[in-house]
Amino acid sequence: MTGSASPTAIVGIGETEYTRWGGITEKSQFQIAAEAIRNALNDAGLTPQDVDGFTSFSNDANDANLMQVALGVPNLRYTGMVWGGGGGGSCGAVALAVAAVQSGQADTVVAYRGLCQGQSRRFGRANTARTHNNWTFPFGLLAPAQMLAMMVRRHMYLYGTKSEHMAEIALSGRLNANRNPRAVMHGKTLSKEQYFAARMIADPLRLYDCCLESDGGCAVVVTSRERARDLRQKPVDILAAAQGSGAGWGSGPLGSHNMPNETYTTTNSVALAQDLYGRAGVGPSDIDVAQIYDHFSGMVIIALEDYGFCPRGEGGNFVADGNIRWQGGSLPINTAGGNLSEAYIHGFTHILEGVRQLRGTSTSQVKDAELCLVTGGLGVSPTTGMILGVS
């Protein structure tokens, strides 16, 4: 494996069932989050008595202090949450856990996300609490699909990116989900004809370019690399985990939508990518598999450019050449199905799949995978990412 050893590792992963929006009714969102945490601890061979920290992201409603009581955690020494929109903070929650362990503020931290969108009624609602949206709402930009569609359309105008390229993202993810029994879309195939026949959501984004709306929970357990050696599972090293935002982004397309013109057709990840590679001591050519946040297929194409897998403007051709496919691709991505076809838990499923790839237990396993890139939400501010490895 390329890169340096990390003092922290993921030693347990846990999840609940994933359903469509509104599919979970017998348990509360809080109970779902607690269930995912217990499953992660059991996976690691730990109990709630071993935990002394919790992290999450983006205004999580599953309060850490109440989770402490519900699970019976005796001494809560650290809590943290990432600012920003939606899944942009997914990897950032893990970064906070890393910071806590490395600084000695906690020994074992659980990063988690529980999301029951049928209960919270998130689907289809505009966020009127953010004053920055006063610059977008009057123009009809009420939902993320509308907001980010403008960036994708600009990329198409500048570089010739096509709907056929976005179809490749959706079709590849669906094929991976069809091999994954946990995926919401496990039993549902998708053809190119179905993709193009689907209704337009926000031009140029069609139905299958847009992520699922899901119910479910995910959690990961982070501890020191030294302690990880004595636990149940093969530890997965966190080689780098970071947050970042480019100059002038503010709340980006989810707010003012006045990002600098020179970075408008990026995912706000260029500097973050350089930071991650530098911390991990690796480069794009070293990455074996990637879990790239796929809230909208066109943004994945742009992220491939931002993270250095192809030159600026060549993302469409990169996916058209089959590079992201599980079989035969130079960089298989979203091997569990991603947000488009596995489940949308604000991107936390990508973290779990990254760990499975390096454990060798994925349903679309990349042979001899040793390095995995995971990204948080694309085109938001701040966004986050991490690089996982095995030693």
Closest CA to 350 of 305, 386, 301, 308: 386
Is-contact 336 347, C-beta < 8 A? no
Query: Token match 């988690």: residue?
Result: 112
Rounded Cα distance between 324 and 332, Å, is 4
Q: Which CATH number fits domain 8-122+210-382: 3.30.1490.100, 3.40.47.10, 2.50.20.10, 3.30.460.10?
A: 3.40.47.10
Instruction: Give me 71's structure tokens.
Output: 């699970």
Closest CA to 57 of 112, 116, 131: 112
Rounded Cα distance between 378 and 303, Å, is 7
Looking at residue 162, its pLDDT comes to 98
Looking at residue 5, its pLDDT comes to 42
**175-178, Cβ contacts within 8 angstroms, sequence gap of 24 or more:** 175/325, 175/326, 176/326, 176/334, 176/335, 176/336, 176/337, 176/338, 176/341, 176/342, 176/363, 176/364, 177/336, 177/337, 177/338, 177/341, 177/342, 178/337
Handedness of CA 144, 157, 200, 174 (dihedral sign): negative
Element at 218 (helix H, strand E): strand 214-224
Closest CA to 295 of 79, 151, 198: 151
- The strand pairing partners of 214, in sequence order, are 20
Instruction: Give me 78's structure tokens.
Output: 């650290």
Looking at residue 3, its pLDDT comes to 42
Residues 6+ apart with CB under 8 A from 3: 239, 280, 281, 282, 286, 371, 387, 389
Instruction: Give me 131's structure tokens.
Output: 């004053």
Looking at residue 330, its pLDDT comes to 98
pTM for the whole structure: 0.96
pLDDT in tens, the chain (391 residues): 444 445 899 999 999 999 999 999 999 999 999 999 999 999 999 999 999 999 998 878 899 999 999 999 999 999 999 987 678 999 999 999 999 999 999 999 999 999 998 887 665 556 666 667 777 888 888 889 999 999 999 999 999 999 999 999 999 999 999 999 999 999 999 999 999 999 999 999 999 999 999 999 999 999 999 999 899 999 999 999 999 999 999 888 888 888 999 999 999 999 999 999 999 999 999 999 999 999 999 999 999 999 999 999 999 999 999 999 999 999 999 999 999 999 999 999 999 999 999 999 999 999 999 999 999 999 999 999 999 999 8
| Catalytic (active-site) positions | 293, 344
Residue 90 CA: distances (Å) to CA of 5, 31, 231, 234, 317:
23, 20, 25, 22, 28
Residues 6+ apart with CB under 8 A from 203: 149, 153
Does 204 sit behind a cis peptide bond, omega within 30 degrees of 0 on the bond before it?
yes
Looking at residue 2, its pLDDT comes to 41
- The strand pairing partners of 299, in sequence order, are none
DSSP structure string for 269-311: -HHHHHHHHHHHT--GGG--EEE---SBHHHHHHHHHHTTSS-
Looking at residue 137, its pLDDT comes to 82
Residues 6+ apart with CB under 8 A from 180: 186, 336, 337, 342, 363, 364
Query: Token match 């903070």: residue?
Result: 89
Looking at residue 1, its pLDDT comes to 40
